[in-house]
A and B are shown apart, each in its own frame.
Chain A
Amino acid sequence: MASFKPTKVPFLPKLGEKVTEETLYWKNYKSPVQIKEFGAITKIDFSPLPPHNYAVTASTRIHIYGPHSQEPIRSFTRFRDTAYGGRFRGDGKLLVAGSEEGLIRLFDISGRVALRQFKGHTKAVHMTSFLSDGFRVVSGSDDLSCRVWDVPSAVELSSLTEHTDYIRALAPSKLNPDLFVTGSYDHTVKVFDMRSGSSVMTMQHGHPVECVLLYPSEALLVSTGGRYVKVWDLLKGGQELVSLKNHHKTVTCACLSSVGNKLLTGSLDRHVKVYNSSYKVVHNFDCDASILSMAIAPDDEALAVGMTNGVLSVRHRRHKKDKETLTSRRRRGPSYQVFVKGKNFVPRQDDFLVSKPVKQYLRKYDKQLKSFEVSKALDTALQTWTRTSKPDVTVAVIIELKRRGTLKNALAGRNEESLTKILNFLLKHIFDPRFSRPLLMVGDIVLDLYQQVFHQSPVVERLLQRLMEVLGREAELQQELLQVLGILDTLFTSLTPRKEVAALAASPVAQESQLQAA
């Protein structure tokens, strides 16, 4: 004797994006914390030391925030003009920043007053950084020069004027203290070697360069500028590896996640895009305003994004522990012990074992279907929660009723309220290609059954009116799609060589299914 087979809810492909592990990983951030700064945030830098404080450069201040505080734990305000490019040293104890007036200041994290000031640039310094030995500072300025300064003596060691436009991007090598990369508005990216005192490599980006970034292996270099993100292979003499065009406005910043070296880019189009190792976009963060700067904490614990409207938005990673507390709070009632009680009990030798039959768990609509209560089963499937969050279950029950030949019986004899429910469900889902076939049938039956009494209820009449409109619009759309399909077909025929005539019929599946719906 077989047991009752429950209604099978078909697994339908989701029409949206595909869920991958990458998207799951990047989705696992809490909703952003918004902190208002005084002006556009031009630079964010995380301290390499735990607890990974981060310095935010905005307007005439540099604020240092702790990992979870919304108030700055320290701020450097002694700037006369706009500050730029505040960056930590490799040990996290010193911070260097340029400014609009051309002065470069060096701060101790615990102090307030600048320890050193490097004078020499004649125009604004947008980028400053320590070289990896920690004793030298490199800066790129709007006066087209790139200078290296000695920290102990505060003197300029060398000045490199190879660029022909503003220098707005700078990245020192972490492996070699004499190497750094600059990007400029003259569309070039240059690699400088302090030992030779000149550039050793030049790459044409093709657009004003906004940001350069070195991979930890320092074999790959990322440059952003215009709408393009380009990846260069330094070991092959600066060969372009890949050129990405996923943003529709200038890409202003880029950073690498520390887990798996995934590339993240932020753009004026208010999106942060995450690329996988084969440079396909796997995730997308939306922000409220154009993005100017972005940084990600070690271990991807937090993602900080700075925007033109002075809002700093920080997303913290969600941890498993948080989740568990959430679920444990939800699950109450009989505890787990009740169900596993006596599971480890070992019967003694002379015990007579009576096995308990396993009870089949059935959903409510299945129980009703089992006892042939078709109207009740449809009611259960049309309950608000099921109807809104799991329409596939509702449709599965409808299909099952149709298979049993009792759909008409289930739909008959309903009052205004439950008829409204059905019509609302139809309105919402009838043009969904996954559900349209059974739902159109439901619509037909409803019209057949209640034709005589529709005018008695203004609510139902209005809903029917709307249903008609929706269907009319859908039919028009289908018509247009068919036309497009015809155009595509002629295009394909003219393009494909005569031999592969048969391959033509392979039209996209999505269109096919929509046609079926028509």
Chain B
Amino acid sequence: FRFVLCTSGDSVKVYSTRTEEWLHSLQGHTNQVTGIALNRANHLQVYSCSADGTVKLWDFIDGILIKTFIIGYPLFAIYVSEKHDGIVFLHIAMDTDSKNECFQLVAVHLPKSAEQEVEAKELSAVSSRISPNPSCTAFGREGQYIAFARHLQLNVYFFRKQKTYSFSLKATDKKGAKNAFTCIACHPADDCIATGHEDGKIRLWRNFIHTKEYTYSTQHWHHNAVNTLCFTPEGTNLLSGGIESVLVQWQYGAGNRKEFLPRLGGSILHVSTSSDGQLFCTSHSDNKITVIESSFKVCGVIQGLVKGDAVLTDLMIDPRSKALVLNGKPGHLQFYSLMRDKHLYNLDIVQQEYIYEAGLDQFEVVKAAFDINGYWLATVEERGQKSSDLEFVLKLWAYDERTQSFVLNTTITAAHTDRIISMCFSSSEETTMLVTTAEDGQFKAWCQGADADTQQDQSFWSCEFVGSYHNLKPTNCSFSADSSLLAVNFQEVITIWSPDTWELLTTLCQPPGVVRDLCFGRLSCSKYLIATTTRNLLCCWNLLTCALEWSTSVEVSKLQPDPLSENVAAFSYQSKHTDLFVFKPSEPRPLFTHKNMCSEKIHRAVFVPREEPLNNCDESSQWLNRSQLYFLTQNMDLLTFSTATEEDRMLSSSKRLVIDDSVAVTPFYLLLGKHRQQQQKLNTPSHPAADKPQQPQGSVTITELLHTPAHVLPAASVLCSMLVSSLLISNTGVRKDPLREMESSEQEMNSEKEEEHSEEEMEACDSQQELRAQGSVDEVTPKLSKAQERELKRIRKTDFSWMTGLIDSKP
């Protein structure tokens, strides 16, 4: 078994290198986990440190918390060494106020005690004034010394001599080199320190035992700062990575011999090697881990929701796959399945080689829109927002049934003379039409038209209509539910057009304030048009009378209609916190209000249709029956609302399993059923009461067994014993049965421990989980107050239900 561990928010996640599946996460920290380090004494244990001031020791294979050491200061990095058993080295902030960025390297003696929670107060400072960057500290050969760098100074602390030698470089060379240290790695068997620098140089320091006679050699390949350095366990190779997203392997002691592995993804943040040197692992800035064999071949990719610099496109739902679509890798759109919480695929929009270079202005996807059937996708890519010459391309993609992906149909290079502000597809099923509004004061309607002359099967998109209104700048456009009306707002004025005849039907205006967002009502409320203005006004017009129905004073940052119901969600940002209102356009009173939801402004939100509508009778959460609301904060956290019934379901999944016991009659089931019936027959006279509940529970286990994908199941040999045990007549002494403990494999142990753990902590843990909102996009977790009504659910949820089945099967 090989695992990759990575910190993610307030937990450490464990992945398998073989299957790239997420196995489990080590949860228990209450703040961001800042560092992990393997326990050198026991290779199955790992230390993790967190900003909540604790160091925890875990068994990562089983996901069990072994010990908690309370340090009491926020911790920023952890280092361990074989030689210093029972001592961990930690980065702590020197002053409690975060403004003064001074960090201290301290050694902490971890007290040996049997208790779960131990306070470790034996701190001894190794050095103050170290770099805040955790990769600027490294242990030397056999833990004899520790090297740490800050700005232009490299310090080496020898434990035996209890002395620090420091070597410094000049700030700038003749050639304008930037010499600041960015990372450090020490050779495992040789007295050699490799340092990475801001200008991409790598220096190999030798002979630093003597302050005066030290030497270094310089190697230069990276054109930007070296982010990470790592020696292979034998010390034969040095791995380096940076913003170029190229993993470079330098042969140690062979001068400039190097190998490259280019185009791995986002810029490389960390490189680590497995203890036998067989596997390398790189983590990237776009929320990705790449597993690489020692022969320099990529053998696995663990990809989360791709995190770009910013989400420029709206959050969208692909009508076909119901996947969430947003900016992904640079120049790509990512399709992310919310149901399975899995990255589906990236769609290459720009179709150009991405140059990994800082400060280079490249094409970015800024707008995207799906038509109602999911057959067409329109994208806008843009370049040169900062410089004067703006380039943008409007592209239309058709869905290809055969390849199951989008294929480029039309490229329009100069769709407008200035940048496109918004676009939308018409909502009718028959004719698809795209409307774009641009800063040049025009909106254009694009239609798919067959070219009669060329006589080709393919039909391309061309401009059908160009509209403008008093040379004002159009900002938003929206089609009514039946596509019979098009609303385009020109600053304060909303104009209503008929897409059939391109006649200007009417104009609506409610000064003061420029219209910020507008949308039509759906279903029974389709006669209403809602708009928000910059002067804190939310207005609703009745389009039959062309009169203002109602208006209220509320600052709305985002207006999001639900496509499946009449409801409209409005996010209001006032006095540094966001409120949510859900209302129907027909009445000015909100259906649902949630004050003080989070502290960031919300610009992107989407309603995701449910697979099957809920039958929720609770008044306050009825609006969530048909679709679920996801929204993205400025911190790039993706949050969602869940209803009380869902909570119940998640909490008592075992209950649900009993209810859901409508398993298909498979031969296996029949066999088991027969067997059980025989058992029952045998047992009925003696234990009638004990047997009755067992039958459904046993079958639940089997149901779950049969329904869980085979690759996530433990080995058959392990399962067999569990199966047999679940079929056994239960008596109270099962858990302490010596025979079973003898024969139980490692996995069995795991499950039992898990059981204990979960049984003890289940309630507490679950309630904690529900209250805690955790973004899977960013590593920063928003701190949330304990609001009773709102339960923000984590997106990542494990499918451990088969395990819960096991729990249930035990009395």
Contact = CB atoms under 8 A, between A and B. Distances in A.
B747 interface: no
B171 interface: no
B352 A8 contact: yes
Contact of B413 (A1, A7, A10, A499): A10
B503 A18 contact: no
Given A20-B455, A503-B465, A505-B466, A403 B352 contact: yes
A1 B352 contact: no
B411 A10 contact: yes
Kindly state the interface size class of chain B when it binds its partner.
20 to 34
A5 B352 contact: yes
Interface in B465-486: 465-469
B271 to A, nearest CB: 15
A502 B467 contact: yes
A18 B463 CA distance: 19
A503 B466 contact: yes
A4 B353 contact: yes
Contacts of A512: 414
A3 B263 CA distance: 7
Nearest to A405: B360
B94 interface: no
Contacts of B383: 403
Interface string B392-424: 000000000000000000010110010000000
Nearest to B297: A1
Given A20-B455, A502-B504, A1 B262 contact: yes
A506 B466 contact: yes
Contacts of A2: 263
B716 to A, nearest CB: 26
Contacts of B290: 1
Interface of B is mostly: loop
Q: Which one of B353, B383, B468, B504 has the greatest number of beta carbons of chain A within 10 Å?
A: B353
A7 B353 CA distance: 8
Kindly state the interface size class of chain A when it binds its partner.
20 to 34
Interface in B251-280: 261-264
B503 A506 contact: no
A21 B455 contact: yes
B453 interface: yes
Contacts of A20: 453-455
Q: Which one of A10, A400, A502 has the greatest number of beta carbons of chain B within 10 Å?
A: A502
B525 interface: no
B442 interface: yes
A7 B442 CA distance: 32
A443 to B, nearest CB: 15
Contacts of B361: 405
A409 interface: no
A513 interface: yes
Interface in A1-23: 1-8, 10-11, 18-21
B455 A503 contact: no
B465 A506 contact: yes
B466 A5 contact: no
A516 B414 contact: yes
Contacts of B467: 502-503, 505
Contact of B355 (A404, A500, A513): A404
A20 to B, nearest CB: 6
A505 B263 contact: no
A5 B353 contact: yes
B360 A404 contact: yes
Interface string A390-431: 000000000010011100000000000000000000000000
B362 interface: yes
Interface string B298-321: 100000000000000000000000
27 contacts: A1-B261, A1-B262, A1-B263, A1-B264, A1-B290, A1-B298, A2-B263, A4-B263, A4-B353, A5-B348, A11-B411, A19-B454, A369-B353, A403-B355, A404-B360, A405-B361, A499-B504, A500-B502, A502-B467, A502-B504, A503-B466, A503-B467, A505-B466, A506-B463, A506-B466, A513-B414, A516-B417
Interface of A: 1-8, 10-11, 18-21, 369-370, 400, 403-405, 499-500, 502-503, 505-506, 512-513, 516
Given A1-B261, A1-B262, A502-B469, 15 more contacts: A4-B353, A8-B352, A21-B455, A400-B352, A403-B362, A403-B383, A500-B502, A502-B468, A502-B504, A503-B502, A505-B467, A506-B463, A506-B466, A516-B414, A516-B417
